[in-house]
Structure 1
Amino acid sequence: MLKKILTQGIRLKKRMLWVIAALLVLMSTALAQVVAAPAHAIAINS
């Protein structure tokens, strides 16, 4: 019983890590777009 709970917990932790990693990637790409957009606009205007 306990072993089953432990293995499920580990599986859940792995899934959480994947979710966190995916969120970090999404956030970094979004951040890059936010930073790149004004720079791009400045480059076009100048």
Structure 2
Amino acid sequence: MPGASQPRANVVGVGLIGGSIALALRAQGWHVSGVDHDEARTDRAR
């Protein structure tokens, strides 16, 4: 679609479920941002 922006999603919680959802969205061309209360988990998700 001409002029359409890339779809975006914010994922809260990037553990097993949230991380899997984020990866699936990214594979479909989405721009994904994720956060988690566990800073080490957030770092691994990058």
* TM-score scaled by length of structure 1: 0.32
The higher-RCO structure (CA 8 Å, 6+ apart) is 2
- Work out which of the two has the higher radius of gyration on C-alpha atoms and give 1 or 2: 1
- More helix per residue: 1 or 2? 1
- More strand per residue: 1 or 2? 2
* TM-score scaled by length of structure 2: 0.32
